[in-house]
Amino acid sequence: MNMPNKSSNRICLISDIHSNLEAFEKVMKSITKLDCPILCLGDIVGYGANPNECIKLVMEHGIRSVLGNHDAAAIGKIDMTWFNDRARYSAEWTANQLTEESRLFLGGLKTEMRFGRALLVHGSPMDPISEYVSNTYVADEVFHFVEDDLIIVGHTHVPLSFADSKEGIIARDYIHGGSLKIASRCILNPGSVGQPRDGNPMASYAILDLREMEFSVFRTYYDVKKASRKILSAGLPESLAERLFEGR
Ligand code: ZN
């Protein structure tokens, strides 16, 4: 008798890798064991020192990804007027590093994708590239804007969920990881692999179990020192190296 393939009910969610190969490799070590589809919410590149290596890993593992604002900036798809100085500098640095293969890969990414019942975008369904779903006001707009039950986003670098319950929208963070039983329409954010910003420097990723309807966020240590040293030796802004230690 064939055992049911449990992994087919689960998907791994990653986001905002930001050219941080050390964090990405560490997360991949944990999730490839699970043998389930891996979906990425964008910003594979920008800020960190290994854009091509991170894109290569995404390609090698057949990870499906949407386009993030930093991916778009690195291939000249959006203008960088709204980027702050260090983001603009790192986008220009990244653009100069990208191989033709990397550029083609980023150029092929769409701003939204679907997986079963889930809608996936980097920012928000209203503005897939730039808008942050970081509070209940924007979450409320999202629930009115689309009809999907599950909306999965990245971009904030903070693992979050917003549940559209009878009592109103319930927001939750996952600074130390944790699980949520999904009982209503939900917006889910797995946090950032390569540049967490919730005060916890550990890389963040999530598993979504579509049979149990459970969203679980995991945090994992990686070699922050090595990643930040590479940022400095690449000549990227010092603050980009420092923030990795603080998770800010
Ligand atoms: Zn990002």
pLDDT value of residue 165: 94
Tally of structural domains, the chain: 1
Q: Is 61 part of any domain?
A: yes
Q: Is 1 part of any domain?
A: no
Q: Is 55 part of any domain?
A: yes
Q: Is 154 part of any domain?
A: yes
pLDDT value of residue 3: 40
Q: How far is the CA of 170 from the centre of ligand 1 (A)?
A: 24
Question: Among candidates 82, 84, 80, which has minimal Cα distance to 95?
Answer: 80
pLDDT value of residue 189: 98
pLDDT value of residue 196: 98
Q: Is 245 part of any domain?
A: no
pLDDT of 4 higher than 70: no
Q: How far is the CA of 6 from the centre of ligand 1 (A)?
A: 31
pLDDT value of residue 85: 87
Q: What is the mean pLDDT of residues 164-184?
A: 96
Higher-confidence residue of 2 and 162: namely 162
Q: How far is the CA of 145 from the centre of ligand 1 (A)?
A: 23
pLDDT value of residue 83: 82
Q: What is the mean pLDDT of residues 5-10?
A: 66
Q: Is 5 part of any domain?
A: no
Mean pLDDT of the chain: 95
pLDDT of 2 higher than 50: no
Q: What is the mean pLDDT of residues 18-38?
A: 96
Question: Hey, which residues does 207 pair with through a beta bridge?
Answer: 12, 216
Edge-to-edge strand list for the sheet holding 38-40 = 64-65, 38-40, 10-14, 203-209, 214-220, 178-181
Span 73-104, pLDDT tens digits: 999 998 877 788 888 899 999 999 999 999 99
Q: Is 2 part of any domain?
A: no
Token pair recorded at residue 43: 């910003």
Least confident of 23-27, 28-32, 85-89: 85-89
CA distance linking residue 222 with residue 226, whole number of Å: 9
* Residue 10 C-alpha from the chain's centroid: 17
Q: Is 248 part of any domain?
A: no
pLDDT value of residue 79: 80
CA distance linking residue 248 with residue 12, whole number of Å: 24
* Residue 42 C-alpha from the chain's centroid: 6
CATH number at residue 141: 3.60.21.10
Cβ partners under 8 Å of residue 145, min gap 6: 125, 126
pLDDT value of residue 8: 67
CA triple 77-192-199, angle to 5 deg: 125
Q: How far is the CA of 3 from the centre of ligand 1 (A)?
A: 39
> CB of 110 within 8 A of CB of 71?
no
Range of the domain at 45: 10-239
Q: How far is the CA of 118 from the centre of ligand 1 (A)?
A: 21
CA distance linking residue 91 with residue 68, whole number of Å: 12
